[in-house]
Amino acid sequence: MNLLATTSTVAISFYALLSTVYRSMQVLYAMPTDVSSPSDVVAKSDGLPSVDVIVPCFNEDPRTLAACLKSIASQDYVGKLHVYVVDDGSANLDATAPVHESYADDPRFNFIVLGKNVGKRKAQIAAIRASSGDLVLNVDSDTIIAADVITKLAGKMQDPGVGAAMGQLTASNRSDTWLTRLIDMEYWLACNEERAAQARFGAVMCCCGPCAMYRRSALLLLLDQYETQFFRGKPSDFGEDRHLTILMLKAGFQTEYVPDAVAATVVPDRLGPYLRQQLRWARSTFRDTFLALRLLPELNRYLTLDVVGQNLGPLLLALSSLAALAQLAVTATVPWWTGLIIASMTLVRCTVAALRAREVRFLGFALHTFINIFLLLPVKAYALCTLSNSDWLSRKPAKLPNGGKKQIVIRSATAEPNGTACSAVAGSIHRGDLSRGSSRLVTSDSVCRGE
């Protein structure tokens, strides 16, 4: 069984070489520069861009939604601000209705209720077409954003070449379980290593959904492509944040990362939901990697290394791990070289992260290596076999309950052949009208027209 040992040794050696080069350059490029960011020069003139905040929600816990909307209402942005909360056919409208009503007198807030679950992407598009601000900020309904997030992201968008910008993500429930602590560290590394290094070249490959701002003029150019994405001949709706980011890059816009625009989002506290989340992300990554490959010749060479490291690296690690486990099971010999390389690389990465973050807790991220090998790599393999599956994977779809006491469904439109989001939904928007002192109802047809 020397073949197993040789396979494991060769694979892990190539993995170590690739990862060492990739991670070293990633850390180098992720280092902050002395160049002042546009977000540091917050405009005080009267020419601030208007911002529309879009919050898609589906069966969200009322307390979580309330915290999200409170953080948006408390923004220090002095420009024009409107908020569009889009309920994607939730079954708990009666529970969330008091949250909606608490903002009935705030003219900045608009509530869109879709007649059935159409998915996060189409829910976002319904609000995009109903709004008109210069900038669009997507915020997940389980996310709390710092009071200066809009100001700092809008500052980064002062550069007309920037089409999208994301903030730094943290786990709002970090202290709940060992898993949430681990995910919080995972988010820090993803933002302050991966995204920060990509941002050095104006090409963040995924502006994460919980907190990402887009230029409306760029969005309008890409909206049809974004809405009508297909994979293997079927409509594809998952991984909306990554796909929209790739479309921005493909259109020639820069995508940026703003580390001091902090957003805290709820992360899974159990392995089951966490693995479902990772499955969804893996599908998105694999699917959009092919689209991203076409961009690489136009981007810095580091971005090619980044794509290779993120996709080839796990394959080499999986091959080495499988061969090592097979060697252990068949020959009862310990694959010490494979184990030594994995342990050494884990120690180095966690130590570097602890030094950069100045937090000893990052040494505990070593646990992620076991989760990666024994859980995440199999999930990624399964993702490759189920790439056409397209759903939120986090909350089960449910039809809008009849007779909801707090929300009004104007009418139910039938889906047209082109399958657009607006023709497939029904709902109402409750808008504060200062001139009348009451709320205005807008039909789903008006949403489609962007009125």
Residue 133 contacts by C-beta under 8 Å, 6 or more apart in sequence?
Answer: 49, 50, 51, 52, 80, 82, 216
Domain at 39-270, CATH from 1.10.10.10, 3.90.550.10, 3.20.20.70, 3.40.50.300: 3.90.550.10
Mean of pLDDT values over 388-392: 60
Question: What is the predicted pLDDT for the residue at 33?
Answer: 75
Report the predicted TM-score, pTM, of the whole model to 2 decimal places. 0.85
pLDDT, tens digit, 9 for 90 and up, residues 189-231 = 999 999 999 999 999 999 999 999 999 999 999 998 888 876 6
pLDDT, tens digit, 9 for 90 and up, residues 392-449 = 444 554 444 444 333 333 222 223 333 333 433 334 444 433 233 333 333 343 343 3
Question: What is the predicted pLDDT for the residue at 230?
Answer: 65
Instruction: For the chain, give every domain's residue range.
Output: 39-270
What is the C-alpha to C-alpha distance for residues 46 and 5, in angstroms, rounded to an integer? 68
b vs e for 201-239, b when ≥16 Cβ sit within 10 Å of the residue's Cβ? ebbbbbbbbbbbbbbbebbebbbeebbebebeeeebbbb
- What band does 289 get if pLDDT is binned at 50, 70 and 90? confident
Q: What angle do CA 281, 208, 96 make, to 5 degrees?
A: 90
Of 42-51, 53-62, 254-263, 316-325, the poorest mean pLDDT is in 42-51
Q: Does 30 have pLDDT greater than 70?
A: yes
- What band does 162 get if pLDDT is binned at 50, 70 and 90? very high
pLDDT, tens digit, 9 for 90 and up, residues 100-133 = 999 999 999 999 999 899 888 899 999 999 999 9
Query: What is the DSSP code string of 75-94?
Result: ----S-EEEEEEE-S-S-HH
Tokens 């810095």: give the residue. Answer: 300
Helix, strand or coil, per DSSP, at residue 442: strand
What is the C-alpha to C-alpha distance for residues 177 and 179, in angstroms, rounded to an integer? 5
Question: What is the predicted pLDDT for the residue at 46?
Answer: 57
Q: Does 186 have pLDDT greater than 60?
A: yes
- What band does 271 get if pLDDT is binned at 50, 70 and 90? very high
